[in-house]
Amino acid sequence: MIKTPYINPFSSDAKEIVSKLGQVESLDEPNPLLSNIVNHTRGQNLSDRRTLPETIKELAQARYEWFLFKKTIDSNEKKYEYLFNPDIYEYDVVAFYLLCQAIAIKYGPDSHETRLILDCEENIISQRLEILKSESNDFQSSILRKALNQLIDTNNIHWTDLKEIFDLGKLDINELLLSNGKVIIEYEDFIEEFGHLIHNRDPRTMYEVTAGVNIKSKLLLNLIRLNTKKYIETVHEMSERMVEPNPLLIELAEKIKEIQQEAQTMKYATTGNSQYIDDKPVSYELEAFPPCVRKCMQGIKSGGRNDAIVLFLTPFISYSRLCPSIFARQEQNMKISDVDPSLEITHNEIIPMIYEAAQACSPPLFKDQPQEKININSKLGFGMHSELKLDHEGETQWYTPMSCEKIKLHMPNLCTPNKDCKKIGNPITFYNRKRRLMKKDNQNKGQVDNNGD
Ligand code: SF4
């Protein structure tokens, strides 16, 4: 039997569980009932006892580990099967609140850690819903209805009620079925509004295609994300008035940092990071920039300023500093905060360099087109906002550098190839190759000098 807190930590039953089991003193003590669930989860790998949580605090860490390591661990290892055992719901919900509190207190709502925890919760619930897909549509629909109605009245939603959800950038109004502004979520509303229009087709199938389980799941994930975000904001505000936070929360927050560092190291190890393949921030080597980038940085004097700065230069300047090996990486939809968690490099180096090139244009780009600053933020993955903030990250994608072919087609004036451009498909490949050659040259020179001595 699936209990609502298993897929909605903001349900009323979840809150009751927290007041029953959430006494801070007990969260770091071995809990035999939790261990029993973990040990009896079907398919759970029990060989490494150290990875099996015995306390709720360890369960909180395990949730975070599962999320951060899931791309790098072998799915056959079955180390975290217990997270997807519905029986764990009570301890899981307390672990969720514990994690949110630790992050709110130590890192605050605008931090990289908060974004990770929002993604972590979304991923856990989403995986649980995915597992539920083996059940019938009716069963899924009723479970989702119960979970959703703890947060919103699914028979009575006007699209304007979802403004905060749309602002998260993960659900688009065009995905929803509307009737006079009302969002159709439930089957009975679908039939009432559209039943008379359906002939010779199965209404249930029509409902599932246009709304159904898919939209219910998306809405639930977004509502949980929004509520988690608000919860972290509230805890953070309250913590500022606190004399001293509970040491257990601080300990957990520090452990979270360690897990992040471990995950980062593991990622580099598994992607085969080598001397020349940089998937982490590296200092600029301006001498290795290709001719097109150099030309653009001197400012565009003729037409095409906007595309040159926003579409061409912005991705190049950001990836060449933060992740020059982007095309060698398997990962898709990378985010800037994966490599620049505090956005320090982005604010202090990347943005100033792009703005300088924009200023060098004739006329200076932002003088008559200040809105292009928003477009630059958008191409860096931070949505259409005037301020570049972690909060908005993911609303748009971080654009990858444009290929030489596209540059030649759309901005032919920028491409003035030199001998190093031969067989190069992308300016960032030019940059990586040139850095490698320069490094080799320097090493050779060093050897000659040493021999000379
Ligand atoms: S060939 Fe490619 S790298 Fe070289 S100048 Fe043209 S666009 Fe730039």
- Measuring from atom 3 of ligand 1, which residue has the nearest CA? 427
- pLDDT mean over 139-167: 94
290/308 same-domain check: yes
Best residue among 312, 408, 421 to mutate for probing ligand 1's pocket (most ligand atoms within 8 Å of CB) is 421
255-286 tens-digit pLDDT: 998 888 787 666 555 544 444 456 679 999 99
Task: Say yes or no: CB of residue 292 within 6 Å of ligand 1.
Answer: yes
- Pick the most confident of 234-243, 295-304, 313-322: 313-322
Q: How many independent structural domains does the chain possess?
A: 2
Assigned domain for 192 exists: no
At residue 219, φ and ψ (nearest 5 deg) are -65, -45
117/229 same-domain check: yes
- pLDDT mean over 78-89: 94
- Measuring from atom 7 of ligand 1, which residue has the nearest CA? 404
Q: Which atom of ligand 1 is nearest to the CA of 429?
A: 3
306/445 same-domain check: yes
Assigned domain for 175 exists: no
- Measuring from atom 2 of ligand 1, which residue has the nearest CA? 404
Q: Which of 223, 245, 266 is the last residue of a domain?
A: 266
392-438 tens-digit pLDDT: 998 899 999 999 999 999 999 999 999 999 878 899 999 999 999 99
**Portion of the chain with pLDDT greater than 90, in percent:** 72
- pLDDT mean over 383-398: 92
Q: Which of 224, 239, 266 is the last residue of a domain?
A: 266
213-231 tens-digit pLDDT: 999 999 999 999 999 999 9
- Are the beta carbons of 15 and 96 closer than 8 angstroms? no
369/448 same-domain check: yes
Better-predicted residue by pLDDT, 68 or 85: 85
Better-predicted residue by pLDDT, 250 or 245: 250
17/65 same-domain check: yes
Assigned domain for 140 exists: yes
8/124 same-domain check: yes
Residue 334: which residues within 8 A CB-CB, separation 6 or more?
A: 323, 326, 398
Best residue among 424, 426, 428, 434 to mutate for probing ligand 1's pocket (most ligand atoms within 8 Å of CB) is 424
- Are the beta carbons of 342 and 390 closer than 8 angstroms? no
Task: Say yes or no: CB of residue 421 within 6 Å of ligand 1.
Answer: yes
Mean pLDDT in the chain? Answer: 90
Task: Say yes or no: CB of residue 434 within 6 Å of ligand 1.
Answer: no
59/13 same-domain check: yes
Better-predicted residue by pLDDT, 274 or 128: 128
Q: How far is the CA of 404 from the centre of ligand 1 (A)?
A: 5
374/447 same-domain check: yes
Structural domain range at position 101? 4-147+214-266
Assigned domain for 158 exists: no
Label residue 157 by pLDDT band (50, 70, 90).
very high
Report the 3 state secondary structure along 211-280: CHHHHHHHHHHHHHHHHHHHHHHHHHHHHHCCCCCCHHHHHHHHHHHHHHHHHHHHHHHHCCCCCCCCCC
Spatial distance between the Cα atoms of 38 and 327, rounded to a whole number of angstroms: 40
Predicted structure pTM score: 0.69
371/254 same-domain check: no
65/100 same-domain check: yes
Q: Which of 249, 266, 283 is the last residue of a domain?
A: 266
255/286 same-domain check: no
Spatial distance between the Cα atoms of 28 and 31, rounded to a whole number of angstroms: 9
282/260 same-domain check: no
Q: How far is the CA of 348 from the centre of ligand 1 (A)?
A: 27
Task: Say yes or no: CB of residue 407 within 6 Å of ligand 1.
Answer: yes
Q: Which atom of ligand 1 is nearest to the CA of 293?
A: 8
- pLDDT mean over 49-75: 87
439-453 tens-digit pLDDT: 888 877 766 666 655
Here the CATH number for the domain that contains residue 70 is 1.20.930.50
Assigned domain for 198 exists: no
pLDDT of residue 451: 60
Assigned domain for 188 exists: no
- pLDDT mean over 359-380: 95
- Measuring from atom 6 of ligand 1, which residue has the nearest CA? 415
Best residue among 289, 406, 407, 414 to mutate for probing ligand 1's pocket (most ligand atoms within 8 Å of CB) is 407
Q: Which of 30-34, 239-243, 387-391, 447-451 has the lowest average pLDDT?
A: 447-451
Task: Say yes or no: CB of residue 415 within 6 Å of ligand 1.
Answer: yes
Assigned domain for 167 exists: no
Q: Which of 104-113, 283-292, 316-325 has the lowest average pLDDT?
A: 104-113
Q: Which atom of ligand 1 is nearest to the CA of 420?
A: 4
pLDDT of residue 112: 81
Report the 3 state secondary structure along the chain: CCCHHHCCCCCHHHHHHHHHHCCHHHHHCCCHHHHHHHHCCCCCCCCCHHHCCCCHHHHHHHHHHHHHHCCCCCHHHCCCHHHHCHHHHHHHHHHHHHHHHHHHHHCCCCCHHHHHHHHHHHHHHHHHHHHHCCCCHHHHHHHHHHHHCCCCCCCCCEHHHHHHHHHCCCCCHHHCCEECCEECCCHHHHHHHHHHHCCCCCHHHHHHHHCHHHHHHHHHHHHHHHHHHHHHHHHHHHHHCCCCCCHHHHHHHHHHHHHHHHHHHHHHHHCCCCCCCCCCCCCCCHHHCCHHHHHHHCCCCCCCHHHHHHHHHHHHHHHHHHCCCCCCCCCCCCCHHHHCCCCHHHHHHHHHHHHHHHHCCCCCHHHHCCCHHHHHHHHECCCCCCCCCHHHCCCCCECCCCCHHHHHHHCHHHCCCCHHHCCCCCHHHHHHHHHHHHHHHHHHHHHHHHHHC
pLDDT of residue 63: 95
Assigned domain for 306 exists: yes
